Amino acid sequence: MSVTHTAVLLLVIGLAVIFSCLVAGIAFGVARWGGAPAPESLARSGKAFATSLTVLSALIAVIVAVVK
């Protein structure tokens, strides 16, 4: 794997984490707006973060395996 491929892979992983944080923030806001208490909203945002990061990680792994 060349240096460019490694750099792009790190960029994609970083973007996946940032996107998952954005999803978690949106989930927290929607839960609070719906009247859920803060601990429950935090739990929902954690689930949203973990789910989105898991899906994105699987997608990245498949893409890397295909491109490699």
Decide if pLDDT at 1 tops 80.
no
Model's pTM, two decimal places? 0.89
Query: Is residue 24 a contact partner of residue 46, using CB atoms and an 8 Å limit?
Result: yes
> pLDDT digit string (tens) for 29-57?
999 999 999 999 999 999 999 999 999 99
Which amino acid, one-letter code, is at 5?
Answer: H
The set of residues, in sequence order, having a beta carbon less than 8 Å from that of 8 and lying 6+ positions away, is: none
